[in-house]
Structure 1
């Protein structure tokens, strides 16, 4: 019986299973070219971002009820309205400026932030969007044109970071999708790296002495701090974070980089009982731990080491403006007042609970602010600053 009608398809009708097979073949080709073992970060990069094939750049529905996961902007418009409050504060102190959103998803956050800033009479000069997915770019344009057509001219899509920016950079659930290296500790205390190999047409992971540039030194630095020492301990480390942060530092002349994501300070990230790391995959609202299935059809993420983010930010010339939970950040931005002033407050209350409750998003997600040229405290970190835990 022909079962092609049951196969997953992208919005353009393309057979997603065939796309996945092409991506797997491309990865296997790289494994062969690399001598039989591919560093995990390169595998993750290809699975997520290979041109035309990777999860984030192919056309499959990713966000929302029909996708694989839901982010805060889709849960409630209150999230974007609160971020707008923080943006307005920074833009006022700078005397104006632009906003830059990294990875704008469906465009929902852009719509809510712009709409709320218009209501506050604090619109930016431009709303820049750096989005690697052509498919998502088109969805963002359509949503912005549908919801706020009178503000569409302010929106500009970029293919690379601008050379100069004064304003705010927004990165909601961006860091967790950056490719990571994975490592494990041998019985003799040596450092192994996790590689991806091919066996009988399937992908599997193998370990061997670390060979990726900087990995052994980075894990040794963790050892010096007392982390990740036990034989058998395995985790991840984001070696791409420092150059990424440096690029942001070179771009932002003055303003705020606001990062919201799930993660921990380093002592919690590498706590002794977290022996398998934090890597996880999302497929149709289910979470599992096998990145080698459904290649290109599922999200692959790792939690964020916010201590590493702060260190990279300071090294790139930023000041650490604050670090707190998502709940505390939203409260600092006035979510209670924004909710009470909303004409549809009753309808917004369930979403507010999802954003704020500790067991859902309130404590799991964190917010970090990195600034240049701003001396005053920021409202989002006024309620509870946890920078001392980094």
Structure 2
């Protein structure tokens, strides 16, 4: 880890405080926590966790760059899909994990330009620091729409509108399992003053059933199962009376996710634009993420009675929804604007970058099932 950027003294002190808090939690629970609980504490402990502390997460100075920050064309294209759906609902957009607020600001501007401004734009986010940044972004970019934006501390009992989440599922705590004659649940203990792995038998019946279904019987095979992802989709389905759910994230269908060659799983850390294999490195200063099993997402939605509308790559979805038309509408002679936009479009759609790894999945209830984003290249048959 010597090649990684050193944290400031204040950041290091915050990480050490979080480490002590996690160690106390481990001690209070028989010396062991499932990895999902460790991940939850590392990311969401109030004031100290990665998403609940004050560290800068997005952009060149942070740990990663998301699609909405690359170019406003991303939001303008997604807005074309939302504009098709919102009139069939109460006209409310619900965004989960809104990051810097860039997607919200650009969606509001784009939907206004399309003549379909939302009745309300509701943001559900767990990070006080990010909520403040979202307020600032919206106040700077779309101040005239700020009165339609509200921040929710809990999910409404009924949803009537369009739910959107960009890179939300990957940030939810995942269970980590390892095969040793049978699937065992990986957990975290403290050994010689440092966090260490300890595997125990699975006690959760639902986790055991999934593990028995998806895990290759290969010695040492390690991967993730996200009960949190499944629970999230189930909860949305329970609350959605009318509308759509549109989720964009990186991941695979199950056959690819649990391929025997992917024997170390997908769990990874992101620290200041570096990838880190050790999930115990600088808790609170490093993002932890795992890829999405989109078969699990599809099953959860179907089991909860939603219509599975489509599943495809980000590149195909954006092209279907009109990304190239948005790019073509720009002034090609304005090199200062056009060239960065064209480069961003390349990154969004190139199979070697975000185009193939990122997927889009859509669910509906009591709305039309023909969505422009899935008109070509649907991959539901791979789930």
TM-score normalised according to structure 2 size: 0.95
| Residue 8 of structure 1, CA deviation | 2.3
CA deviations over 1:37-82 (Å, ceiling 9, x no partner): 1110000000001111110010100000000011101111111111
2:354 aligned counterpart, secondary structure: helix
- Kindly indicate whether residue 375 of structure 2 is the aligned counterpart of residue 387 of structure 1: no
Equivalents in 2 of 1:296, 1:48: separation in Å?
Answer: 6
2:308 maps to which of 320, 327, 333 = 320
Equivalents in 2 of 1:212, 1:251: separation in Å?
Answer: 25
1:153 maps to which of 140, 147, 157 = 147
Instruction: Please name the residue that 1:86 is paired with.
Output: 81
Instruction: Please name the residue that 1:272 is paired with.
Output: 260
Instruction: Please name the residue that 2:271 is paired with.
Output: 283
Matches within 5 A, 1:274-313: 274-313=262-301
Equivalents in 2 of 1:133, 1:213: separation in Å?
Answer: 32
1:111–1:148: 8 Å Cα contact kept in structure 2? yes
Instruction: Please name the residue that 1:118 is paired with.
Output: 112
1:256–1:371: 8 Å Cα contact kept in structure 2? yes
| Residue 17 of structure 1, CA deviation | 1.2
Instruction: Please name the residue that 1:164 is paired with.
Output: 158
CA deviations over 1:281-323 (Å, ceiling 9, x no partner): 0001011211101100000000000000000111122110000
Equivalents in 2 of 1:8, 1:65: separation in Å?
Answer: 17
2:60 aligned counterpart, secondary structure: coil
- Kindly indicate whether residue 23 of structure 2 is the aligned counterpart of residue 28 of structure 1: yes
Equivalents in 1 of 2:108, 2:297: separation in Å?
Answer: 27
60-69 or 369-378, which deviates more: 369-378
2:230–2:300: 8 Å Cα contact kept in structure 1? yes
CA deviations over 1:182-209 (Å, ceiling 9, x no partner): 11111xx222111101012211112222
| Residue 375 of structure 1, CA deviation | 3.2
Equivalents in 2 of 1:72, 1:310: separation in Å?
Answer: 23
2:100 maps to which of 102, 106, 110 = 106
C-alpha RMSD of the superposition? 1.3
2:184 aligned counterpart, secondary structure: strand
1:260 aligned counterpart, secondary structure: strand
Instruction: Please name the residue that 2:3 is paired with.
Output: none
Matches within 5 A, 1:335-374: 335-343=323-331, 344-374=337-367
- Kindly indicate whether residue 319 of structure 2 is the aligned counterpart of residue 331 of structure 1: yes
TM-score normalised according to structure 1 size: 0.93
| Residue 240 of structure 1, CA deviation | 1.9
Equivalents in 2 of 1:289, 1:136: separation in Å?
Answer: 26
353-362 or 160-169, which deviates more: 160-169
2:12 aligned counterpart, secondary structure: helix
1:117–1:123: 8 Å Cα contact kept in structure 2? yes
1:361 aligned counterpart, secondary structure: coil
Instruction: Please name the residue that 1:192 is paired with.
Output: 184
1:233–1:276: 8 Å Cα contact kept in structure 2? yes
- Give 5+ residue unaligned stretches, structure 1: 1-5, 10-14
1:281–1:291: 8 Å Cα contact kept in structure 2? yes
| Residue 7 of structure 1, CA deviation | 4.4
- Kindly indicate whether residue 202 of structure 2 is the aligned counterpart of residue 207 of structure 1: no
1:214 aligned counterpart, secondary structure: helix
Instruction: Please name the residue that 1:53 is paired with.
Output: 48
1:375 aligned counterpart, secondary structure: coil
| Residue 234 of structure 1, CA deviation | 1.1
1:358 aligned counterpart, secondary structure: coil
Instruction: Please name the residue that 1:8 is paired with.
Output: 8
1:331–1:383: 8 Å Cα contact kept in structure 2? no
Equivalents in 2 of 1:345, 1:271: separation in Å?
Answer: 41
Equivalents in 2 of 1:123, 1:41: separation in Å?
Answer: 39
Equivalents in 2 of 1:243, 1:261: separation in Å?
Answer: 17
| Residue 245 of structure 1, CA deviation | 1.5
Misfit runs of 4+, over 6 Å: none
296-305 or 244-253, which deviates more: 244-253
